[in-house]
Each structure stands twice: as structure tokens, then as C-alpha cells.
């Protein structure tokens, strides 16, 4: 599969730094954003294929960020990252166009598989498959 660009959006900086390191170790091109506003700034500057987006963040939450992403870059696939208390938000995210949602803590292999599936869907929607 082609290389694809991933962005992780999470306000928990320890989690963000750890997952970025682990993805880079697997040769995934990844960038991180600590909040929704920063994610939108990065999205305006770079082509991102798949975004892993935390639902619960201060300020602009994951649902608001998802809406803005889908307005600006409708083919960018988004995987919602939810805690146990916010499963409803993950489902709401899918109704708003998210590819899927995963529960925190998520196993890296499971997350990688979801990201690959999301990237495949993006390629299909772009007519590249």
C-alpha cells in the first residue's frame, strides 16, 4: 500500500507524543496536533489522508473539529478516539462522516488496521483504486 499521511489530534500530550513515536517507528508519516484549532491549521497547510481525532478536548471538541474537517476536506478520513463515557460521541461522529471510532486505550495494531482501512476508502472515493 502507498504511504499515507496521518494526523493524531489529542490534548493528552503524553499520549500524543507516544503514539507519534510508535507510528514513526513503523515508518508512518505522522504529525500531531494538541487541539482542534491546531489540527485545522495543519490541514490547511498539508494534505492529510487519515486523522485520528480525540472526542473530548477543551475548547473545540472532536465533534466540532470533525464538522470543520469535513467542510474543508470532505475526502479526508477521520477515526474518532473515544473514552468509555463518550461512545455516543463516537457514534455521532460516524453520523457526521467519520470513518469509524475506536475506544481508548487502543492497541496500536488495531489503530493501524483502522487507519489502513480508512486510507483505502479515501483512495476509492478519489477514484484511485
pLDDT above 80: residue 2: no
Q: How far apart are CA 5 and CA 36, in angstroms?
A: 17
Tens of pLDDT along 70-99? 999 999 999 999 876 677 888 899 999 999
Question: Tell me, what's the pLDDT at 83?
Answer: 79
To the nearest whole percent, how much of the chain has pLDDT over 70?
97
Of 116, 115, 107, 96, nearest to 55 by C-alpha is: 96
Domain that holds residue 23: 5-125
Q: How many domains does the chain have?
A: 1
Tens of pLDDT along 97-109? 999 999 988 999 9
Tens of pLDDT along 24-42? 999 999 999 999 999 999 9
Question: Tell me, what's the pLDDT at 1?
Answer: 55
CA–CA distances in Å: residue 107 to residues 92, 95, 103, 104, 119:
22, 24, 9, 9, 18
pTM of the model: 0.96
CATH code of 21's domain: 3.40.50.2300
Q: How far apart are CA 68 and CA 38, in angstroms?
A: 12
Question: Are 117 and 86 a contacting pair, CB within 8 Å?
Answer: no
Amino acid at each position: 500500500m502507498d504511504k499515507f499521511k496521518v494526523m493524531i489530534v489529542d490534548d493528552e500530550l503524553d499520549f500524543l507524543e507516544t503514539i507519534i513515536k510508535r507510528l514513526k517507528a513503523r515508518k508512518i508519516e505522522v504529525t500531531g496536533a494538541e487541539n482542534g484549532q491546531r489540527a485545522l491549521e495543519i490541514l490547511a497547510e498539508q494534505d492529510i489522508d487519515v486523522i485520528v481525532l480525540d472526542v473530548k478536548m477543551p475548547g473545540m471538541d472532536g465533534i466540532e473539529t470533525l464538522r470543520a474537517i469535513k467542510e474543508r476536506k470532505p475526502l479526508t478520513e477521520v477515526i474518532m478516539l473515544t473514552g468509555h463515557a463518550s461512545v455516543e460521541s463516537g457514534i455521532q461522529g460516524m453520523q457526521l462522516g467519520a470513518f469509524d471510532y475506536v475506544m481508548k486505550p487502543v492497541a496500536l495494531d488495531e489503530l493501524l488496521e483502522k487507519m489502513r482501512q480508512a486510507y483505502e476508502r479515501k483512495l476509492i472515493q478519489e477514484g484511485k483504486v
